[in-house]
Amino acid sequence: MEYKKTDRLSVVRDYAYALSIIAYPIMLLIGFVTHPNLLAMEPLFTVDQLVGRFHNNPMYHIGHLIVTFTVPVLIIYFIGTMNLLRNEGRIYGFWGGIIGVFGAFILAVDKGALCLVLSAFDTLPEADFQQLAPYLSVIVEKKGYLVIVWLIFALMIGGSIQVAGLLKEKVIKRWQGYLIIIGLLLLINPDIELISSIGAALMCIAYIPWGIKELKTIKEKYHEKNR
The residue among 107 and 10 whose pLDDT is bigger is 107
> Predicted confidence band at 19 (pLDDT cuts at 50, 70, 90)?
very high
Q: What value does the mean pLDDT take over residues 78-90?
A: 97
Q: What value does the mean pLDDT take over residues 71-90?
A: 97
> Predicted confidence band at 2 (pLDDT cuts at 50, 70, 90)?
low
pLDDT above 60 (res 99): yes
Check residue 225 and give its pLDDT.
64
Query: Does residue 207 contact residue 173 with C-beta atoms inside 8 Å?
Result: no
pLDDT above 80 (res 56): yes
H helical segments located in the chain = 5-33, 47-54, 58-84, 90-111, 118-121, 126-132, 137-140, 153-168, 174-186, 193-225
> Predicted confidence band at 40 (pLDDT cuts at 50, 70, 90)?
confident
Judged by average pLDDT, the poorest of 94-98, 110-114, 176-180, 205-209 is 110-114
pLDDT above 90 (res 3): no
The residue among 103 and 37 whose pLDDT is bigger is 103
Q: What value does the mean pLDDT take over residues 29-37?
A: 90
Q: Which of 214, 206, 208, 197 is nearest to 36 (CA)?
A: 197
Condensed to tens digits (0 to 9), the pLDDT of residues 167-194 reads 999 999 999 999 999 999 999 998 899 9
Check residue 170 and give its pLDDT.
97
Condensed to tens digits (0 to 9), the pLDDT of residues 126-169 reads 999 999 999 999 999 999 999 999 999 999 999 999 999 999 99
Condensed to tens digits (0 to 9), the pLDDT of residues 101-118 reads 999 999 999 988 888 899
